[in-house]
A and B are shown apart, each in its own frame.
Chain A
Amino acid sequence: MGSLVQVLTNGILLGSMYGIAAIGLSLIFGTMRIIFIAQGTMIVLFAYLVYWSFQKAGIDPYLSLLTVVPLAFVLGLGLFYLLFRKAAALEDRNVSLLLAVGLMYLIDNLILKAWSATPRGLNISYSSAMIVVWGLRVSWLRLALLGLALASAFVVYAFLKKTRVGTAVRAASEDMEATTIQGINSVWVSAISFAIGIALAGVAGVGMATVYSFDYQFGFVFAIKALVALALGGIGNVFGALAGGLLLGIIENLAAYYVGIAWIEIASYGVFMLVLIFLPQGLFGRRALVKKV
């Protein structure tokens, strides 16, 4: 029993990474319907930046949130205006999908050139610090991941609910055309959601740098995991996406514990397929956003 609780706890803590990535994807997909397959690659890129600033300048990973997240936001704005502005307006999904693929190839291989293929991972003074609660061993860094995820979810939620731009973003994810008719600048709304999506990749990058061992190829799989989390939780709901991530973490850890590490992927993608087929609106998503035949 104790080990089951331990497995569940680990699942929740590691799943919070998927949660952060899924919230970002949800914003990007929700407003522009772009399958942003490069999200994982962006996370890996920011993880390398965090790693690098720790190795070169000794900056604490959590302190580098202050630089990485604004940097990611600006980078997101730049990427949107440079690449995705026109593509987001096209009905043809292939263009935006391939733009994201191109970005993924480009950044993956730039990372390979800059930092070589050796997997990297941070070793900070408090890497192995543990807290023991009722016999549960929880690493501080993993607990911090959950904190990061919850904080990001609350910030994004508050942004969507309390600000005018946030309201516009919500409106755009309901119906982009009607939003434009209401006099809302749809390009700016898309740009903001895209930039926040990339900023969340920055947050996830900090998390990844502290807990995972990562290399240049890690991004693609991570992006698909985020997509799985998004499908699980449902599109159009910040806390749904987060919950989807936590759930995916639990599923993966349960599969690793009971079936074997080699079958983690089968479990997560199997659940992905089942959810897509039988529950396309996800567990917490709004039914209206899913176009059924």
Chain B
Amino acid sequence: MGGIERIESADVRLVAGTKGLNKRKLIWAGLGVLAVVFFGTLPFYYDVHNGQYGVFFFNVFVYAIVAQGWNLIGGYTGQISLGQNAFFGIGAYTMALLWFNDVTKTGYYFDPVLMIASAVAPAIVAVLVGLPLLSRLRGDYFAFGTLGMGMIVTVLFINGGYFTGGAEGRMLVSKMPPDVVFNLRTHYWVAFLVAVLVTLVVYFLTSSRVGLALKAIREDEVAAASHGVNVLKYKVIAFAVGASTAGVAGSIYGYYLLQVTPSNVLTQNWLFYPILMVVLGGTGTILGPWVGAFLIYLLSWYGDQYFTGYSPILSGVVIILVMLFLPSGIMGLGQKVPDWGKRVRGSG
């Protein structure tokens, strides 16, 4: 593993160039704790079930989870995965089918076992698909392959017959335990907790040796490999972790909808919006997905209210404008050394 230390020292040099980083880090951590405390206690003084901002923030959290997962594979590792909607759907369906068929016999609402299962199932698929794809392809071809995987998964769920419920999917309302009242407060907290957890996982993963390997792969795959980084291993790890976060988000969303169908958990929106959120927020930054998720969902929220029916047109325009004028994202604005911003064609 001598290679990683070499890269590490290069990274340290880069970091040493920006003075006062520790102080900045502390400020960010403090702001982060404040935000967590604020959003974590929000249901105590705001009625998230009846107030409209409960649904709003719940959706932001779910998108933030998916976006954070894509950030790991697409942002930090630089492998554009176009299969996040498949993993989201697999997660949602894992939860729905296990619950619907009473496999675990627990019958809880927000069953931790089911949620873990819906994180594990996409990860398994990601490893199975990722190993052949990532060992042979990179860059755009990986994007093609994951796109194909996403289409296959979608068609499989539509054609699943009795097993998946076909195009109607599975209604889960009848499975609600009789003593549980549907309260959005639970959803809010679960989504928030998972979103924070996923952010922490991505943060510690990317600031560890794994993260250095991932960034090395993003910058120059051949150089990383020649310095002893096991490129395939780290790519598959990033792909699988990204997939399982999308899966958990899928199960949480499934608990919210209580009806899992191909048209609501496998759509293009769960593929392209998280990518947009990451890129708008700042690719390869820990807060980028949060900023992106908040802003993009805010836009679509008010777009739906004030421009009813024209919201998809609006989001198309917004995507184009963001990419034209903010291609390196909001988090890239304040940074003096945006290490992804200056990667001009031909240098990689």
Contact = CB atoms under 8 A, between A and B. Distances in A.
Interface of A: 29, 33, 35, 83, 86-87, 89-99, 101-110, 112-113, 176-177, 220, 224, 227-228, 231, 262-263, 265-266, 269-270, 272-273, 276-278, 280, 290-293
Interface string B122-145: 000000000011111111110111
Q: Which of A87, A105, A263 has the most CB of B within 10 A?
A: A105
A16 to B, nearest CB: 22
Nearest to B161: A262
Contacts, number: 159
B346 A177 contact: yes
Contacts of A99: 319-320, 323-324
Interface in B311-348: 312-313, 315-320, 322-324, 327-328, 340, 343-348
Given A99-B319, A99-B320, A106-B320, 7 more contacts: A91-B348, A97-B80, A108-B312, A110-B313, A113-B309, A176-B346, A293-B231
Given A35-B143, A89-B344, A98 B272 contact: yes
Given A98-B276, A102-B320, A273-B145, A291 B138 contact: yes
B145 A93 contact: no
B74 interface: yes
Interface string B220-237: 010001000001100000
Interface stretch (B107-115, B148-156, B251-259): B148-156
The interface residues of chain B, by DSSP majority, are classed as helix
B319 A101 contact: yes
Contacts of B328: 92
Contacts of A87: 323, 327
A277 B159 contact: no
A83 to B, nearest CB: 7
A100 B325 CA distance: 15
A90 B327 contact: yes
B74 A293 contact: no
B145 A98 contact: no
B144 A227 contact: yes
B138 A293 contact: yes
Question: What bracket does the count of chain B residues touching chain A fall in?
Answer: 35 or more
A266 B316 contact: no
B77 interface: no
B186 interface: no
B345 A89 contact: yes
A106 B283 contact: no
B144 A231 contact: yes
Interface of B: 74, 80, 132-141, 143-145, 147-149, 151-152, 155-156, 158-159, 221, 225, 231-232, 268, 272, 275-276, 278-279, 283, 309-310, 312-313, 315-320, 322-324, 327-328, 340, 343-348
A109 B320 CA distance: 14
A227 B275 contact: no
Contact of A277 (B137, B327, B343, B346): B137
Q: Which of A266, A273, A291 has the most CB of B within 10 A?
A: A273
A266 B141 contact: no
Given A90-B344, A95-B323, A101-B272, A280 B151 contact: no
Contacts of B319: 98-99, 101-102, 105
A90 B80 CA distance: 15
Contact of B137 (A108, A109, A266, A280): A280
5 contacts: A83-B324, A87-B327, A94-B278, A107-B316, A291-B139
Contact of A109 (B141, B156, B313): B313
Given A95-B323, A293-B138, A273 B313 contact: no
Q: Which of B149, B156, B221, B319 has the most CB of A within 10 A?
A: B319
A108 B314 CA distance: 12
B224 to A, nearest CB: 11
3 interchain residue pairs of minimum CB distance: A106-B316, A102-B319, A105-B316
Contacts of A227: 144, 147
Contact of A91 (B80, B143, B159, B345): B345
Contacts of B138: 291-293
B312 A86 contact: no
B80 A277 contact: no
Q: Which of A89, A94, A104 has the most CB of B within 10 A?
A: A94
A93 B140 contact: yes
B327 A276 contact: no
A270 B140 contact: no
A103 B316 contact: yes
A276 B320 contact: no
A10 B318 CA distance: 41
Given A177-B346, A277-B132, A277-B145, A102 B155 contact: no
A28 B152 CA distance: 25
Nearest to B278: A94
Contacts of A98: 272, 275-276, 279, 319, 322-323
A92 B340 contact: yes
Q: Which of A83, A104, A231, A272 has the most CB of B within 10 A?
A: A272
